[in-house]
Amino acid sequence: MSEVTPPVGHKIALDCMGGDLGPAEAVAAAALAIREGIVGPEDTLILVGHEDNLRLLAMDNRILNHKRIQFRHAPGVVNPDDAAMTVIKSKRDSSMVIALEMLKAGEVEAVVSTGNTKALVAAGTIKVRPMEGAERPALAAIMPRREGHFVLLDVGANPEAKPEHLLHNAVLGSIYAQSALGIASPRVGLLTVGTEEGKGGARINRTHALLKAMGDKINYIGPVEGFDVFGDACDVVVTDGFTGNVILKTLEGLVYMVRDLIGSKVKRNPVYLAGGIAMFPLLRDLKGKLKPERYGGAPLLGLGGLVMKAHGSSNRQGISSAIRLGFEALGHGTGHRMQAGLAEANAVISANPEVV
Amino acid sequence: MSEVTPPVGHKIALDCMGGDLGPAEAVAAAALAIREGIVGPEDTLILVGHEDNLRLLAMDNRILNHKRIQFRHAPGVVNPDDAAMTVIKSKRDSSMVIALEMLKAGEVEAVVSTGNTKALVAAGTIKVRPMEGAERPALAAIMPRREGHFVLLDVGANPEAKPEHLLHNAVLGSIYAQSALGIASPRVGLLTVGTEEGKGGARINRTHALLKAMGDKINYIGPVEGFDVFGDACDVVVTDGFTGNVILKTLEGLVYMVRDLIGSKVKRNPVYLAGGIAMFPLLRDLKGKLKPERYGGAPLLGLGGLVMKAHGSSNRQGISSAIRLGFEALGHGTGHRMQAGLAEANAVISANPEVV
Kindly state whether residues A117 and A10 are assigned to the same domain.
yes
Residue numbers of chain B with a pLDDT score lower than 50? 1-3, 292-293
| A296, pLDDT greater than 90 | no
Largest CA distance in chain A: 67
- Side-chain half-sphere exposure of B273, counting CA atoms within 13 A: 5
Domain assignment present for B115 = yes
In terms of Cβ atoms closer than 10 Å to its own Cβ (0-12, 13-18, 19+), residue B80 is middle
Domain assignment present for B340 = no
Kindly state whether residues B147 and B287 are assigned to the same domain.
yes
Coil vs helix vs strand at A147:
coil
Q: Which residues of A touch B227 (CB under 8 A)?
A: 249-250, 252-253
**Contact criterion met (CB < 8 Å) for A278 and B274:** yes
Instruction: Name residue A56's amino acid.
Output: L
**Contact criterion met (CB < 8 Å) for A193 and B241:** yes
Asked if B13 and B46 touch (Cβ cutoff 8 Å), the reply is: yes
Kindly state whether residues B327 and B207 are assigned to the same domain.
no
Kindly state whether residues B42 and B146 are assigned to the same domain.
no
Chain B interface, mutation test: which of A204, A254, A256, most B Cβ atoms within 10 Å? A254
Q: Give the integer Cα–Cα distance in Å for B338 and B25.
A: 32
Domain assignment present for B237 = yes
Q: Which residue of A has its CA nearest to B284?
A: A262
Q: Give the integer Cα–Cα distance in Å for A116 and A315.
A: 15
- Is the model more confident about B336 or about A265? B336
- The residues pairing with A224 across neighbouring beta strands, listed in sequence order, are A191
Question: B252 CA to chain A: closest CA distance, Å?
Answer: 7
Residue-averaged pLDDT of chain A = 88
Which value, to the nearest 10 degrees, does the dihedral of the CA atoms of residues B110, B111, B114, B117 take?
-90
Closest C-alpha to B319, from B71, B31, B10, B74: B31
Kindly state whether residues B281 and B175 are assigned to the same domain.
yes
In Å, how far from its chain's centre is CA A23? 20
Crossing angle of helices B51-60 and B22-35, in 10° steps, is 50
Q: Which residues of B touch A282 (CB under 8 A)?
A: 262, 265-266, 269, 272, 275
A220-224 vs A188-191, strand pairing mode: parallel
Among A134-143, A285-294, A309-318, B115-124, name the one with the lowest average pLDDT.
Answer: A285-294
The pLDDT score that the predictor gives to residue A282 is 60
Question: B55 CA to chain A: closest CA distance, Å?
Answer: 35
Domain assignment present for A198 = yes
Kindly state whether residues A122 and A161 are assigned to the same domain.
no
Q: What's the Rg (C-alpha) of chain B?
A: 21
> Domain of A198: which CATH number?
3.40.718.10
| A268, pLDDT greater than 90 | no
Kindly state whether residues B205 and B314 are assigned to the same domain.
no
**Contact criterion met (CB < 8 Å) for B282 and A272:** yes
Asked if B109 and B10 touch (Cβ cutoff 8 Å), the reply is: yes
**Contact criterion met (CB < 8 Å) for A156 and B193:** yes
Kindly state whether residues B129 and B272 are assigned to the same domain.
no
Final residue before a domain boundary, out of A246, A265, A294: A294
**Contact criterion met (CB < 8 Å) for A160 and B249:** no
In terms of Cβ atoms closer than 10 Å to its own Cβ (0-12, 13-18, 19+), residue A12 is buried
The pLDDT score that the predictor gives to residue A18 is 87
Give the helix/strand (H/E) hosting B119: helix B117-128
**Domain with A326 in it:** 1-134+302-332
Asked if B319 and B188 touch (Cβ cutoff 8 Å), the reply is: no
Domain assignment present for B349 = no
Rounded to an integer, the average pLDDT of A322-351 is 91
Tell me how far CA of residue A192 lies from CA of A222, A239, B204, in angstroms: 10, 8, 20
Select from B192, B272, B289 the Cβ nearest to the Cβ of A282.
B272
ipTM of this model? 0.81
pLDDT tens digits, A122-181:
999 999 999 999 999 999 999 888 888 899 999 989 998 999 999 999 999 999 999 889
Whether the CA torsion B238, B241, B243, B244 is positive or negative: it is positive
Q: Which residues of B touch A231 (CB under 8 A)?
A: 253
Domain assignment present for A72 = yes
Domain assignment present for B102 = yes
What does the DSSP 8-state code read for residue A311?
Answer: P
**Contact criterion met (CB < 8 Å) for B200 and A242:** yes
**Contact criterion met (CB < 8 Å) for B241 and A146:** no
Domain assignment present for A341 = no
Instruction: Name residue A30's amino acid.
Output: A
pLDDT tens digits, A83-93:
888 899 999 99
pLDDT tens digits, A67-121:
999 999 999 999 988 888 889 999 999 999 999 999 999 999 999 999 988 899 9
- The residues pairing with A299 across neighbouring beta strands, listed in sequence order, are A308
Asked if B43 and B12 touch (Cβ cutoff 8 Å), the reply is: yes
| A290, pLDDT greater than 80 | no
Q: Give the integer Cα–Cα distance in Å for A102 and A137.
A: 19
Kindly state whether residues A210 and A154 are assigned to the same domain.
yes
- Side-chain half-sphere exposure of A203, counting CA atoms within 13 A: 18
Kindly state whether residues A15 and A122 are assigned to the same domain.
yes
- Total domains in the fold of chain B: 2
Rounded to an integer, the average pLDDT of A321-339 is 88
Q: Which residues of A touch B252 (CB under 8 A)?
A: 226-227
pLDDT tens digits, A206-244:
999 999 999 999 999 999 998 889 888 999 999 999 999
Kindly state whether residues A126 and A10 are assigned to the same domain.
yes
Q: Which residues of A touch B200 (CB under 8 A)?
A: 159, 242
In terms of Cβ atoms closer than 10 Å to its own Cβ (0-12, 13-18, 19+), residue B208 is buried
The pLDDT score that the predictor gives to residue A209 is 95
> What length does chain B have?
356
- Is the model more confident about A172 or about A334? A172
Kindly state whether residues B205 and B326 are assigned to the same domain.
no
Closest C-alpha to A68, from A6, A7, A9, A110: A9
pLDDT tens digits, B191-212:
998 755 556 788 999 999 999 9
For residue B10, report the phi and psi dihedrals to the nearest 5 degrees. Answer: -120, 155
User: What is the pLDDT confidence band of residue A341, given thresholds at 50, 70 and 90?
Assistant: very high
Q: Which residues of A touch B258 (CB under 8 A)?
A: 258, 286, 290
Q: Which residues of B touch A255 (CB under 8 A)?
A: 254
Tell me how far CA of residue A34 lies from CA of A109, A242, A356, in angstroms: 18, 36, 55
**Contact criterion met (CB < 8 Å) for B159 and A200:** yes
The pLDDT score that the predictor gives to residue B15 is 97
Tell me how far CA of residue B217 lies from CA of B134, B207, B220, in angstroms: 17, 15, 9
The pLDDT score that the predictor gives to residue A259 is 73
